[in-house]
Structure 1
Amino acid sequence: MVDNAAFIGLATLVVFFYLIQKITTISLSREEPPLLKPRVPLIGHIIGLLRHEAAYFPILRARAKTPAVTMPLLNEKDYVIFSPHMTQQAMRHRNLDFLDVAMVFNKSVAGISDRGMAKSAERGPNTYVPEAMAAIKTGLMGQNLYRTNDALLAYVASQLNDIGAGVEGLHVPSLWLWMRGMITMATTEALYGQANPFRDDPEGLDSLWGFDDAVAQMLTMPGPLARAGARHRDRVVSTLRPYFEARLHRNDDASKFVALPSDVSVKHNWVGDDLCKSGVMSLWASTTNSIAALFWTLTNVYLHPGLIERLRGEILPHVTFSEQDGKRKATLNIRQIEKQCPVLVGCQRESVRSNSHMVARRAITADTLLTDEDGTSYLLKKGSNVMWSAKVAHKLPDVWGADTDDFNPERFVTEPEDKDTEKKRRTAYMPFGGGAHLCPGRQLALDEILGLVSALVIGFEIEGLYPENVKTGRMMMASGISKPARDGDGGKVTLKRREGWEDVQWSFACYP
């Protein structure tokens, strides 16, 4: 009886695993990217993504023998592209749809209502999504961009001007948290104008960063397991609600980046909490990656002392001095710095290259062929998704050199003698997305980085900054640039005015 029972049990297990294998077996055509099997059968890739998040893609790249693979996820499959050449094609291909992926984000993360989701699903001219996207782009172009930058950097200047000239300077328990708090509030001042609702409710910004920390969980976990993120999001909504209910986005001093998309929302009856939740997402998108990029640019500069004097010599010609209320006023011209300070811009680009881990995902709406540099084509089948990773592209030794893990701004300052290498680097560098979905806020982010880093390099010393206290944190799937580990814990520093700059009041010129 025991032997029979054991036999029956074993037979049952064999049948069970056979059925599971049958159900989850992925069928591939010869034209599709080859299958990259998980190390743990069935669920290995799911475990890898949950455990490593965006850091899983370099792990996959190390195992892959081809420029694209098929990644089985139970009975479904995603394609993963490692080749920058194919990635550039994917970014621009009309069959690879971002909006289907954005719909999932709107529901899971933004918490948009069913009525709002129905509006988002409408396609064609004069519908909500294309009009809103056009409004966002217009709000961050030309004079609209310069005005927003001017307001943001005016707040930054006010904070720098409050740093005393005494020998003690400003003691900052965490450089990251100090910078994050200052730039987040500066962003709200620039976006919402004098009616900025976060002036009277700064705790709402703490919830914004609590939300940021939970976005990846909201994307991957069922709603009941992601309640913390929803609570943080709704806390920010409560701050924004009176602002949008009173239509204060129509005030003259509100950024067009807020005003124009909000008017499109009202036009399409995308109102109430859906409008506020869209506001949360705009504020989050304006801060989550740009402030991290600013932090890494600043710390990389100050942790490489040889760069400081070089940058001071490069930036100083673009500072003009005047007298105001008996004090020296120093004005940094952002447009000149962007065009005529290649080392500073190189530091920003290299910092982004080193710390960007963006994972892009597109829904495949029709069978699609992508072709690599050697002429090999791969078929991506309708109904699946395709992904690619900036971390993979930004760390390829054959593109960036053997020192790819080192900070070396010369990569972006001096053009390679080999034109093929230069072309490869242009193709592989993808910090802001690409194609039809190039980040519209990239210039706003660049200006805030160039502005604050220039002012600090010229006018301030930072004492107490050490490499061992500046470590990279999680590579979250929903963000594009890593934050420092443990919220910068251990990054205690002192900011002091440089000798000869004690009495300077700072300002920024953002217009051409």
Structure 2
Amino acid sequence: MLFDDVSVSSTWLAVAFASLVFILGRYASPNVDENEPPLVKPRIPFIGHIISMFRDGSNLYVNLFKDRAEPIATLPMLNGKLYVINSPDLIHSALRNNEISFGPFILETSKAMWGLSDNAMASISVEANLKGGMQLIHSTLGGESLHKLNVNSLSRFMTYLNRIRPDETHVVDDTYIWLRDMLTDASATALFGAKNPITVDKMNLVWDFDKQAMLVAAGLPRFMTKAAINARLKMNDLLLSYYKSGGDREKGVSEIIKQRVPYLRKTNFTDDDLAHMELMITIQSIKCWNRKKYLFAAMPSLEVTLLAGSAMPLALRVTTSAPTTIGYI
């Protein structure tokens, strides 16, 4: 009888919890106007997208697009909502639209996401400072500056590929890690130049942070994002040493770093503030370059063949029949 009572109690608890979730999902979820983007409901009402964010990190958006290939969508989260734009054309339209302001979003998420100090928050809360910083991002990530950044990234990338001599076979145990590490190093070196602090032995910190980055931005308790916070703090220390030693003034530094650093210092940013704020540039640049389209554009002469019978993670046999297009660097 004792176990029967326990079973009944557990059943009623399960029913009560399910009812609560349903009620919250039905009545506490945000209302969506007919003019807003299509609603993509989570499988678990009310909290489903938050669970997916915790589990998948930034891959949440990729997985959602696979399920619902909407050019733009509305994600209900608790009693709020999040707009996700998947279409490149719509993204460019949003960025060009003067009526859309990213300032409030930046201010809302920056302190939690990047761990900004009160001093840094006070600086970017001044509209002129925030606007000036955003304008520098736009001006240095286009035209000749962007071309130079791309060439430097590819040149660094080719130093890895060119180690595979013509007609030589190179066996890769884990394809994803192999490509990820090369592209991460290439991106960081193109940004920071010769004194790049995100070296090969430290690049795992980028991906440890990325796994829980969205949870950090949402301001969830630290015990839920401990791995990401610890990774961020270690990268902050690396960047702090870089700025203190004047690494941003060395040869090969990208225009975005060259121009933003003195600008932010004029707005009262300290070296420690820079080490936190400019982690944003680091993470986004690295993630941008870790895309397959850049890989295949960079090495058209590279032949990649799956090894027969290889288990996951994939193993590859990589063979180059000729030097890569940028030549031996």
Once the two structures are superposed, the pairs formed by residues 102-251 of structure 1 within 5 Å of their partners are 102-123=106-127, 127-165=128-166, 167=168, 169-198=169-198, 201-220=199-218, 221-251=220-250
Higher relative contact order (CA 8 A, sep 6+): 1
Once the two structures are superposed, the pairs formed by residues 271-350 of structure 1 within 5 Å of their partners are 271-291=270-290, 293-294=291-292, 348=293
Residues in 2 aligned to 1:144 and 1:274: alpha-carbon distance in whole angstroms:
25
* 2:99 matches 1:101: no
* 2:81 matches 1:78: yes
Residues in 2 aligned to 1:83 and 1:505: alpha-carbon distance in whole angstroms:
33
Match of 2:319 among 489, 496, 499: 496
Q: 1:161-212 CA deviation, whole Å, 9 max, x = no partner?
A: 2113465x111111221111112112222222222234xx532211112111
Aligned partners of 2:194 and 2:251 also within 8 Å? no
Residues 160/118 of structure 1: CA separation in 2 closer, same or farther (3 Å cut): same
Aligned partners of 2:152 and 2:190 also within 8 Å? yes
The residue number in structure 2 matching 1:507 is 326
Letter in 1 for 2:296: V
Once the two structures are superposed, the pairs formed by residues 55-66 of structure 1 within 5 Å of their partners are 55-56=63-64
Residues in 1 aligned to 2:189 and 2:32: alpha-carbon distance in whole angstroms:
54
The residue number in structure 2 matching 1:45 is 46
The residue number in structure 1 matching 2:303 is 461
Query: How well do the aligned residues superpose, as a CA RMSD in angstroms?
Result: 4.0
- The unaligned stretches of length 5 or more in structure 1 are 1-12, 295-347, 349-448, 470-488
Q: Which has the higher helix share?
A: 2
Residues 89/130 of structure 1: CA separation in 2 closer, same or farther (3 Å cut): closer
Residues 122/507 of structure 1: CA separation in 2 closer, same or farther (3 Å cut): same
Residues 148/106 of structure 1: CA separation in 2 closer, same or farther (3 Å cut): same
The 3-state SS of whatever aligns with 1:155 is helix
- The unaligned stretches of length 5 or more in structure 2 are 1-15, 54-59
Structure 1 or 2, whichever has the larger Rg, is 1
Aligned partners of 1:69 and 1:81 also within 8 Å? yes
Q: Which has the higher strand share?
A: 1
Residues in 1 aligned to 2:151 and 2:214: alpha-carbon distance in whole angstroms:
32
Residue 231 (structure 1) shift? 0.7
Structure-2-length-normalised TM-score: 0.74
Residues in 2 aligned to 1:157 and 1:107: alpha-carbon distance in whole angstroms:
37
Identity among equivalent pairs (%): 21
Residue 58 (structure 1) shift? 6.9
Letter in 2 for 1:283: T
Aligned length: 299
Residue 248 (structure 1) shift? 2.2
Structure-1-length-normalised TM-score: 0.50
Letter in 1 for 2:252: D
Q: 1:401-422 CA deviation, whole Å, 9 max, x = no partner?
A: xxxxxxxxxxxxxxxxxxxxxx
Q: 1:394-443 CA deviation, whole Å, 9 max, x = no partner?
A: xxxxxxxxxxxxxxxxxxxxxxxxxxxxxxxxxxxxxxxxxxxxxxxxxx
Q: 1:286-335 CA deviation, whole Å, 9 max, x = no partner?
A: 111321x22xxxxxxxxxxxxxxxxxxxxxxxxxxxxxxxxxxxxxxxxx
The 3-state SS of whatever aligns with 2:151 is helix
